[in-house]
Amino acid sequence: MIIMEKGATSEQIKHVVSEIKKHGLRADISRGEFRTIIGLIGDESRISFTHLAALPGVKEARMIETPYKLISREYSELFEGKDESRIVEVGDIRIGGDEPVFIAGPCAIESKAQIFRIAEEVKKAGAHILRGGIFKPRSSVHSFQGLGALGDEEAREALSWLRDAGQKFGMPVMTEVRGESQVDLIAEYVDILQVGARNMYHQDMLSSIARKGKPVLFKRHFGASVEEFLSFSEYIAAEGNKDIILCERGIVPVGKGNSYTRYTLDLVAVPVVQKETYLPIIVDPSHAAGRRDLIFDMSCAATAVGASGLVIEVHYNPAEALVDAQQMITPDELGRIITTCKQIKKLVASDKKKIAVA
């Protein structure tokens, strides 16, 4: 990271950037109130930090040790001069602020009537953002892959239902992008582009999504450490898009015998991530559990541990859903979760302010 002197001129900044580009790297320029920080993007072994430090107007060239730099607290502290978290704004919804945000909807969109009815009911229950899958990643090629699999026209139609349902009931909308070829299409219709757990390592798609400039919901892969999770979210930040909402959704279970849940929800990852980066992080209890009778408990715990929100699968009649029938809850249950979690958030936030931890 290149820290410029307070009075550095734009000529000096341009010169530093051109030096960086000359070596095949890119530059991330952050203009703060007091000073300008230039982050290097790309293969750092190709450039000399000593050389950069000696350029006119440069105060310091500092190495950041983690593989994630642009999203690290260290970087934002350099830039802002204080320890502040990022609020990702989607319409007038603020993710990462004092209020928990609830993203809800069906696992897969099945019909116009279905998504409109669910939209109406989750809105009434208190949800802020509407979700619905159109391109479903599935373990088996022999399972339903979402309406997007039926053809371009069907995909567009389903996307427009999602957009329209969101507009009608006053919610921004989100759907998952499963492959690079869907990025452009989906970006036309939705407010948040979702990267599913299975695609966390898919760096080319991450770059491509990031360049759309829209907020990205980025799920942790179930075999990834927190370090890898953050390192790959850096691929999004490296395109200049820092509207990243991280999402914990469970890691592979360990141990012999019945594991009772599909994945092991790693809730402690939430405060760990919050100490490492300034990005907001939310939790998806539905996919981690794989069974609806644990969603309430998991939602309470996720909120208590500090998550900025939840993404929950909801259906008015879970039993008839084509995908994930056993883990979806009803809008009524969602309503109770929202009510309780809001109170927990308030309680924990107020107490946390009082604690000074070493």
Residue 118, interface with a second copy (CB under 8 A)? no
Query: Of the candidates 145, 194, 241, 286, which one interacts with a second copy according to CB under 8 A?
Result: 145
Query: Which residue(s) pair with 173 in the sheet?
Result: 130
Q: How far is the CB of 284 from a second copy (least distance, A)?
A: 13
Structure tokens at 258: 């019945």
Closest listed residue to residue 280, CA positions, set 206, 338, 215, 186: 215
Strands 244-248 and 281-283 come out as parallel
Interface of this chain with a second copy, residues 94 to 113, rule: CB under 8 A: none
Q: Which is nearer to a second copy, 16 or 267 (CB)?
A: 267
Interface of this chain with a second copy, residues 270 to 329, rule: CB under 8 A: 270-272, 275-276, 288-289, 292-298, 300-306, 318, 322
Q: Which is nearer to a second copy, 201 or 316 (CB)?
A: 201
Q: What angle do CA 196, 145, 126 make, to 5 degrees?
A: 55
Count of residues that bind a second copy according to CB under 8 A: 102
Query: Which residue(s) pair with 189 in the sheet?
Result: none
Residue 144, interface with a second copy (CB under 8 A)? yes
Name residue 138's amino acid. Answer: R
Q: Which is nearer to a second copy, 7 or 255 (CB)?
A: 255
The SS3 assignment for 149 reads helix
Q: Which is nearer to a second copy, 53 or 304 (CB)?
A: 304
Q: How far is the CB of 170 from a second copy (least distance, A)?
A: 26
In 10 A of CB 293, how many CB atoms? 10
In 10 A of CB 192, how many CB atoms? 22
Query: Of the candidates 15, 97, 203, 211, which one interacts with a second copy according to CB under 8 A?
Result: 203
Residue 255, interface with a second copy (CB under 8 A)? yes
Q: What angle do CA 242, 248, 252 make, to 5 degrees?
A: 135
How many CA atoms lie within 13 Å of 322's alpha carbon, on the beta-carbon side? 15
Q: Which is nearer to a second copy, 172 or 318 (CB)?
A: 318
How many CA atoms lie within 13 Å of 229's alpha carbon, on the beta-carbon side? 30
Q: Which is nearer to a second copy, 171 or 337 (CB)?
A: 337
Q: Which is nearer to a second copy, 102 or 171 (CB)?
A: 102
Q: Which is nearer to a second copy, 303 or 308 (CB)?
A: 303
Residue 142, interface with a second copy (CB under 8 A)? yes
Query: Of the candidates 56, 260, 317, 320, which one interacts with a second copy according to CB under 8 A?
Result: 260
Spatial separation of the C-alpha atoms in residues 173 and 133, rounded to whole Å: 11
Q: How far is the CB of 279 from a second copy (least distance, A)?
A: 15
Residue 240, interface with a second copy (CB under 8 A)? no
Interface of this chain with a second copy, residues 119 to 138, rule: CB under 8 A: 137-138
Spatial separation of the C-alpha atoms in residues 84 and 93, rounded to whole Å: 19
Interface of this chain with a second copy, residues 12 to 51, rule: CB under 8 A: 24, 40-46
Spatial separation of the C-alpha atoms in residues 179 and 176, rounded to whole Å: 9
Interface of this chain with a second copy, residues 169 to 188, rule: CB under 8 A: 178-182
Stretch that binds a second copy, among 72-80, 164-172, 241-249, 332-340 (CB under 8 A): 332-340
How far from chain centre, in Å, is Cα 161?
23
Residue 141, interface with a second copy (CB under 8 A)? yes
Spatial separation of the C-alpha atoms in residues 207 and 175, rounded to whole Å: 17
Interface of this chain with a second copy, residues 50 to 79, rule: CB under 8 A: 67-69
Q: Which is nearer to a second copy, 36 or 182 (CB)?
A: 182
Residue 353, interface with a second copy (CB under 8 A)? no
Closest listed residue to residue 98, CA positions, set 340, 285, 280: 280
Instruction: State the greatest distance between any 2 C-alpha atoms of the chain, in Å, as a whole number.
Output: 67
Name residue 272's amino acid. Answer: V
